Structure 1
Amino acid sequence: MLICETERLIVRKFTLDDAPFIMTLLNSPNWIEFLGDRNIHTVADAQLYLTNGPLASYAQREFGLYLVALKGTNVPIGMSGLIKRDGLEHVDVGFALLPEYTGQGYAYEATKAVLDYGYNTLRLPHIVAIARADNKNSVALLEKLGMKFSDNIMLLGIEHPLCLFK
Protein backbone atom coordinates (compact mmCIF):
# COMPACT_ATOMS: atom_id res chain seq x y z
CA MET A 1 0.00 0.00 0.00
CA LEU A 2 1.40 3.34 -1.09
CA ILE A 3 1.96 5.81 1.75
CA CYS A 4 3.41 8.70 -0.23
CA GLU A 5 5.62 9.48 -3.17
CA THR A 6 8.14 12.10 -4.12
CA GLU A 7 9.71 13.12 -7.39
CA ARG A 8 12.12 10.16 -7.27
CA LEU A 9 10.75 7.77 -4.65
CA ILE A 10 7.79 5.74 -3.52
CA VAL A 11 7.19 5.02 0.15
CA ARG A 12 4.96 2.04 0.87
CA LYS A 13 4.10 -0.43 3.58
CA PHE A 14 6.31 -3.48 3.93
CA THR A 15 5.02 -6.95 3.11
CA LEU A 16 6.52 -10.33 3.96
CA ASP A 17 7.78 -10.46 0.37
CA ASP A 18 10.27 -7.73 1.34
CA ALA A 19 12.14 -10.10 3.67
CA PRO A 20 15.17 -10.59 1.36
CA PHE A 21 15.62 -6.81 1.18
CA ILE A 22 15.28 -6.49 4.97
CA MET A 23 17.94 -9.15 5.43
CA THR A 24 20.31 -7.09 3.24
CA LEU A 25 19.51 -3.71 4.82
CA LEU A 26 19.73 -4.87 8.44
CA ASN A 27 23.10 -6.47 7.76
CA SER A 28 24.61 -3.45 5.98
CA PRO A 29 27.66 -1.90 7.68
CA ASN A 30 25.96 1.37 8.72
CA TRP A 31 22.95 -0.45 10.17
CA ILE A 32 25.20 -2.72 12.24
CA GLU A 33 27.38 0.21 13.39
CA PHE A 34 24.66 2.69 14.33
CA LEU A 35 21.53 0.61 14.95
CA GLY A 36 22.99 -2.70 16.09
CA ASP A 37 22.95 -6.31 15.00
CA ARG A 38 19.37 -7.59 14.91
CA ASN A 39 20.49 -11.19 14.24
CA ILE A 40 18.67 -11.31 10.91
CA HIS A 41 20.58 -14.03 9.07
CA THR A 42 17.87 -15.83 7.08
CA VAL A 43 14.78 -14.87 5.12
CA ALA A 44 12.72 -16.46 7.92
CA ASP A 45 14.46 -14.16 10.45
CA ALA A 46 13.63 -11.18 8.25
CA GLN A 47 9.98 -12.27 7.95
CA LEU A 48 9.80 -12.51 11.74
CA TYR A 49 11.32 -9.02 12.03
CA LEU A 50 8.69 -7.67 9.62
CA THR A 51 5.84 -9.51 11.37
CA ASN A 52 6.81 -8.34 14.87
CA GLY A 53 7.94 -4.87 13.79
CA PRO A 54 6.43 -2.92 10.90
CA LEU A 55 3.43 -5.19 10.23
CA ALA A 56 2.47 -5.30 13.93
CA SER A 57 2.85 -1.52 14.14
CA TYR A 58 0.54 -1.00 11.14
CA ALA A 59 -2.12 -3.16 12.83
CA GLN A 60 -1.74 -1.57 16.25
CA ARG A 61 -1.04 2.08 15.41
CA GLU A 62 -1.81 2.53 11.69
CA PHE A 63 1.80 3.59 11.03
CA GLY A 64 5.28 2.10 11.15
CA LEU A 65 8.47 1.74 9.16
CA TYR A 66 8.00 1.86 5.40
CA LEU A 67 9.94 0.61 2.41
CA VAL A 68 11.56 3.30 0.26
CA ALA A 69 11.97 2.39 -3.43
CA LEU A 70 13.07 4.18 -6.57
CA LYS A 71 10.13 5.41 -8.58
CA GLY A 72 9.83 3.74 -11.95
CA THR A 73 11.96 0.69 -11.16
CA ASN A 74 10.56 -0.11 -7.69
CA VAL A 75 14.09 -1.05 -6.59
CA PRO A 76 14.11 -0.96 -2.77
CA ILE A 77 16.82 1.30 -1.38
CA GLY A 78 15.94 1.71 2.30
CA MET A 79 13.31 2.48 4.86
CA SER A 80 11.81 5.48 6.57
CA GLY A 81 8.91 5.62 8.92
CA LEU A 82 7.24 6.43 12.18
CA ILE A 83 7.82 4.47 15.37
CA LYS A 84 6.27 4.66 18.84
CA ARG A 85 8.98 3.49 21.23
CA ASP A 86 8.78 2.70 24.90
CA GLY A 87 10.64 5.45 26.73
CA LEU A 88 9.78 8.21 24.25
CA GLU A 89 6.76 10.39 24.84
CA HIS A 90 6.19 11.09 21.15
CA VAL A 91 6.37 9.16 17.89
CA ASP A 92 9.79 9.34 16.27
CA VAL A 93 10.87 9.29 12.66
CA GLY A 94 13.57 6.90 11.54
CA PHE A 95 15.43 6.15 8.32
CA ALA A 96 18.13 3.90 6.88
CA LEU A 97 19.42 3.36 3.35
CA LEU A 98 21.61 0.80 1.68
CA PRO A 99 25.16 2.23 1.48
CA GLU A 100 25.12 2.60 -2.30
CA TYR A 101 22.17 5.03 -2.09
CA THR A 102 23.50 7.36 0.61
CA GLY A 103 24.71 10.86 -0.18
CA GLN A 104 22.20 11.39 -3.00
CA GLY A 105 19.40 13.14 -1.10
CA TYR A 106 17.16 10.07 -0.93
CA ALA A 107 17.05 9.90 2.88
CA TYR A 108 16.07 13.57 3.10
CA GLU A 109 13.44 13.21 0.37
CA ALA A 110 11.86 10.09 1.89
CA THR A 111 11.98 11.29 5.48
CA LYS A 112 10.53 14.70 4.64
CA ALA A 113 7.65 12.93 2.86
CA VAL A 114 7.12 10.64 5.87
CA LEU A 115 7.09 13.64 8.23
CA ASP A 116 4.54 15.38 6.00
CA TYR A 117 2.45 12.18 6.02
CA GLY A 118 2.66 11.97 9.81
CA TYR A 119 1.62 15.57 10.37
CA ASN A 120 -0.88 16.06 7.55
CA THR A 121 -2.48 12.64 7.03
CA LEU A 122 -2.13 10.98 10.43
CA ARG A 123 -2.51 14.31 12.27
CA LEU A 124 0.26 13.49 14.74
CA PRO A 125 0.81 16.56 16.93
CA HIS A 126 4.53 15.93 17.60
CA ILE A 127 7.22 13.89 15.87
CA VAL A 128 10.71 13.62 17.31
CA ALA A 129 13.87 11.82 16.20
CA ILE A 130 16.77 10.06 17.88
CA ALA A 131 20.31 9.47 16.65
CA ARG A 132 23.67 8.59 18.07
CA ALA A 133 25.86 11.68 18.42
CA ASP A 134 28.62 9.96 16.42
CA ASN A 135 26.25 9.31 13.50
CA LYS A 136 27.14 12.61 11.86
CA ASN A 137 25.16 11.95 8.67
CA SER A 138 21.92 11.26 10.56
CA VAL A 139 22.41 14.27 12.83
CA ALA A 140 23.03 16.50 9.79
CA LEU A 141 19.92 15.12 8.05
CA LEU A 142 17.73 15.76 11.10
CA GLU A 143 19.02 19.33 11.29
CA LYS A 144 18.39 19.79 7.55
CA LEU A 145 14.81 18.63 8.18
CA GLY A 146 14.47 21.50 10.67
CA MET A 147 14.75 19.43 13.84
CA LYS A 148 16.73 20.83 16.76
CA PHE A 149 18.78 18.99 19.38
CA SER A 150 16.83 18.83 22.63
CA ASP A 151 18.55 16.45 25.04
CA ASN A 152 20.76 13.40 25.50
CA ILE A 153 18.73 10.34 26.49
CA MET A 154 19.12 6.64 27.17
CA LEU A 155 16.54 4.12 25.99
CA LEU A 156 16.09 0.66 27.41
CA GLY A 157 17.90 -1.93 25.30
CA ILE A 158 20.18 0.60 23.59
CA GLU A 159 23.68 0.74 25.00
CA HIS A 160 24.70 4.15 23.59
CA PRO A 161 23.36 7.55 24.63
CA LEU A 162 21.12 9.09 21.99
CA CYS A 163 20.50 12.65 20.92
CA LEU A 164 16.83 13.61 21.00
CA PHE A 165 15.70 16.03 18.28
CA LYS A 166 12.42 17.91 18.24
Structure 2
Amino acid sequence: MPRIQLSPLNTTHASFIIELVNSPGWLEFIGERNVKSREDAEAYIRKIDSNPAIDYWIIELVTSGEPVGIVTLIQRDYLQSPDLGFALLPAFEKQGYAFEAVSLFLNDFFSVSANKEVHAIILEHNRSSIQLVQKLGFLFSEHIEVNGEQLSLYSKKLT
Protein backbone atom coordinates (compact mmCIF):
# COMPACT_ATOMS: atom_id res chain seq x y z
CA MET A 1 0.00 0.00 0.00
CA PRO A 2 1.46 3.39 -0.95
CA ARG A 3 2.48 5.69 1.88
CA ILE A 4 2.34 8.87 -0.19
CA GLN A 5 0.30 10.55 -2.89
CA LEU A 6 0.98 13.54 -5.12
CA SER A 7 -1.38 16.48 -5.44
CA PRO A 8 -1.03 19.78 -7.34
CA LEU A 9 0.33 22.78 -5.47
CA ASN A 10 -2.25 25.45 -4.58
CA THR A 11 -2.54 28.37 -2.18
CA THR A 12 -3.95 26.15 0.58
CA HIS A 13 -0.36 24.88 0.91
CA ALA A 14 0.96 28.33 1.92
CA SER A 15 1.89 27.39 5.52
CA PHE A 16 3.65 24.25 4.34
CA ILE A 17 5.59 26.22 1.68
CA ILE A 18 6.79 28.73 4.30
CA GLU A 19 8.13 25.87 6.41
CA LEU A 20 9.71 24.01 3.47
CA VAL A 21 11.48 26.91 1.74
CA ASN A 22 12.95 28.06 5.06
CA SER A 23 14.20 24.61 6.12
CA PRO A 24 17.97 24.14 6.42
CA GLY A 25 18.24 21.72 3.48
CA TRP A 26 16.27 23.99 1.16
CA LEU A 27 18.34 27.02 2.10
CA GLU A 28 21.63 25.13 1.65
CA PHE A 29 20.89 23.25 -1.56
CA ILE A 30 18.20 25.30 -3.32
CA GLY A 31 18.50 28.81 -1.94
CA GLU A 32 16.70 31.67 -0.24
CA ARG A 33 13.26 32.44 -1.68
CA ASN A 34 12.31 35.30 0.71
CA VAL A 35 9.03 33.62 1.63
CA LYS A 36 8.39 34.62 5.25
CA SER A 37 4.65 35.29 5.50
CA ARG A 38 1.41 33.75 4.28
CA GLU A 39 1.14 36.57 1.72
CA ASP A 40 4.69 35.82 0.48
CA ALA A 41 3.84 32.13 0.19
CA GLU A 42 0.61 32.75 -1.70
CA ALA A 43 2.41 35.10 -4.11
CA TYR A 44 5.18 32.49 -4.56
CA ILE A 45 2.59 29.79 -5.32
CA ARG A 46 0.69 32.01 -7.77
CA LYS A 47 3.98 32.81 -9.56
CA ILE A 48 4.72 29.10 -9.89
CA ASP A 49 1.17 28.31 -11.04
CA SER A 50 1.28 31.03 -13.70
CA ASN A 51 4.51 29.74 -15.25
CA PRO A 52 3.87 26.98 -17.82
CA ALA A 53 7.52 25.85 -17.55
CA ILE A 54 7.05 24.83 -13.89
CA ASP A 55 5.09 21.94 -12.34
CA TYR A 56 5.02 21.54 -8.55
CA TRP A 57 3.44 18.55 -6.85
CA ILE A 58 2.93 18.20 -3.12
CA ILE A 59 3.98 14.92 -1.51
CA GLU A 60 1.28 14.03 1.01
CA LEU A 61 0.99 11.18 3.48
CA VAL A 62 -1.89 8.93 2.41
CA THR A 63 -2.99 8.33 6.00
CA SER A 64 -3.38 11.99 7.00
CA GLY A 65 -3.06 14.14 3.87
CA GLU A 66 -0.20 15.97 5.61
CA PRO A 67 2.20 17.65 3.16
CA VAL A 68 5.76 16.45 3.68
CA GLY A 69 7.60 17.55 0.54
CA ILE A 70 7.49 18.47 -3.14
CA VAL A 71 8.41 17.05 -6.51
CA THR A 72 9.02 19.61 -9.25
CA LEU A 73 9.56 19.59 -12.97
CA ILE A 74 11.02 22.75 -14.49
CA GLN A 75 11.91 23.39 -18.11
CA ARG A 76 15.06 25.48 -17.80
CA ASP A 77 16.36 27.63 -20.65
CA TYR A 78 19.76 25.94 -20.58
CA LEU A 79 18.48 22.31 -20.68
CA GLN A 80 16.86 20.45 -23.57
CA SER A 81 14.75 18.30 -21.24
CA PRO A 82 13.02 19.24 -17.98
CA ASP A 83 14.79 19.33 -14.63
CA LEU A 84 13.40 17.15 -11.85
CA GLY A 85 13.61 18.46 -8.30
CA PHE A 86 12.46 17.30 -4.89
CA ALA A 87 12.59 18.44 -1.29
CA LEU A 88 11.23 17.18 2.01
CA LEU A 89 10.66 18.68 5.40
CA PRO A 90 13.53 17.62 7.70
CA ALA A 91 11.30 15.35 9.83
CA PHE A 92 10.52 13.23 6.76
CA GLU A 93 14.00 12.87 5.26
CA LYS A 94 15.82 9.53 5.05
CA GLN A 95 12.61 7.49 5.30
CA GLY A 96 12.15 6.61 1.63
CA TYR A 97 9.48 9.23 0.90
CA ALA A 98 11.51 11.05 -1.75
CA PHE A 99 12.28 7.78 -3.55
CA GLU A 100 8.60 6.76 -3.50
CA ALA A 101 7.38 10.18 -4.64
CA VAL A 102 9.90 10.61 -7.45
CA SER A 103 9.33 7.02 -8.64
CA LEU A 104 5.58 7.63 -8.75
CA PHE A 105 6.07 10.95 -10.52
CA LEU A 106 8.49 9.53 -13.13
CA ASN A 107 6.17 6.59 -13.90
CA ASP A 108 3.34 9.03 -14.57
CA PHE A 109 5.56 11.47 -16.48
CA PHE A 110 7.03 8.87 -18.81
CA SER A 111 3.62 7.32 -19.45
CA VAL A 112 2.01 10.57 -20.66
CA SER A 113 4.84 12.82 -21.88
CA ALA A 114 6.25 12.94 -25.36
CA ASN A 115 9.55 13.90 -23.72
CA LYS A 116 11.44 10.73 -22.88
CA GLU A 117 14.33 12.27 -20.94
CA VAL A 118 14.53 14.06 -17.61
CA HIS A 119 17.49 15.82 -16.01
CA ALA A 120 18.40 16.51 -12.41
CA ILE A 121 20.80 19.33 -11.63
CA ILE A 122 22.39 19.00 -8.21
CA LEU A 123 25.01 20.90 -6.25
CA GLU A 124 28.14 18.78 -6.17
CA HIS A 125 28.14 18.55 -2.35
CA ASN A 126 24.49 17.41 -2.09
CA ARG A 127 25.39 13.74 -1.63
CA SER A 128 21.90 12.62 -0.50
CA SER A 129 20.23 13.91 -3.68
CA ILE A 130 22.98 12.46 -5.87
CA GLN A 131 22.54 9.05 -4.23
CA LEU A 132 18.78 9.23 -4.69
CA VAL A 133 18.86 10.08 -8.40
CA GLN A 134 21.44 7.35 -8.99
CA LYS A 135 19.17 4.87 -7.18
CA LEU A 136 16.37 6.02 -9.52
CA GLY A 137 18.51 5.21 -12.58
CA PHE A 138 19.83 8.66 -13.43
CA LEU A 139 23.33 8.70 -14.88
CA PHE A 140 25.92 11.44 -14.50
CA SER A 141 26.17 13.49 -17.71
CA GLU A 142 28.50 16.40 -17.02
CA HIS A 143 29.43 19.28 -14.77
CA ILE A 144 27.82 22.57 -15.74
CA GLU A 145 28.09 26.10 -14.44
CA VAL A 146 24.90 28.08 -13.90
CA ASN A 147 24.97 31.58 -12.43
CA GLY A 148 28.48 30.99 -11.08
CA GLU A 149 27.56 27.70 -9.36
CA GLN A 150 29.10 24.36 -10.23
CA LEU A 151 26.35 21.78 -10.71
CA SER A 152 26.29 18.11 -11.58
CA LEU A 153 23.90 17.19 -14.38
CA TYR A 154 22.25 13.76 -14.22
CA SER A 155 19.92 12.33 -16.86
CA LYS A 156 17.39 9.54 -17.10
CA LYS A 157 16.00 8.32 -20.41
CA LEU A 158 13.02 6.10 -20.94
CA THR A 159 14.35 3.08 -22.79
TM above 0.5, yes or no, is yes
- Which of 56, 60, 65 pairs up with 2:50? 56
User: Which letter maps to 2:61?
Assistant: L
- Which of 78, 96, 99 pairs up with 1:87? 78
Question: 1:28-50 CA distances to partner (integer Å, 9 max, x unpaired)?
Answer: 00000111111111111111111
**Structure 1 moving runs of 4+ over 4 Å:** none
Taking the aligned partners of 1:133 and 1:150, their CA distance within structure 2 comes to 13
Q: How many residue pairs are counted as aligned between the two chains? A: 155
Quote how far apart the aligned CAs of 1:123 are. 3.3
Quote how far apart the aligned CAs of 1:160 are. 2.1
Task: Work out whether 1:22 is the aligned partner of 2:13.
Answer: no
Root mean square deviation, CA, Å: 1.4
Taking the aligned partners of 1:146 and 1:81, their CA distance within structure 2 comes to 18
| TM norm structure 1 | 0.88
User: Which letter maps to 1:116?
Assistant: N
Quote how far apart the aligned CAs of 1:85 are. 1.3
The answer (yes or no) to whether the contact 1:82–1:118 under 8 Å persists in 2 is: no
Question: 1:57-82 CA distances to partner (integer Å, 9 max, x unpaired)?
Answer: 4xx25x60110010020010000121
Taking the aligned partners of 2:145 and 2:7, their CA distance within structure 1 comes to 30
Taking the aligned partners of 2:69 and 2:107, their CA distance within structure 1 comes to 18
- Answer 1 or 2: which has greater strand percent: 2
Quote how far apart the aligned CAs of 1:146 are. 0.5
Unaligned runs of 5+ in 2: none
| TM norm structure 2 | 0.92
The answer (yes or no) to whether the contact 1:81–1:94 under 8 Å persists in 2 is: yes
The answer (yes or no) to whether the contact 2:120–2:154 under 8 Å persists in 1 is: yes
Question: 1:110-143 CA distances to partner (integer Å, 9 max, x unpaired)?
Answer: 0111111111123322111111110000000010
Unaligned runs of 5+ in 1: 1-5
- Which of 132, 135, 147 pairs up with 2:123? 132
Taking the aligned partners of 2:85 and 2:109, their CA distance within structure 1 comes to 12
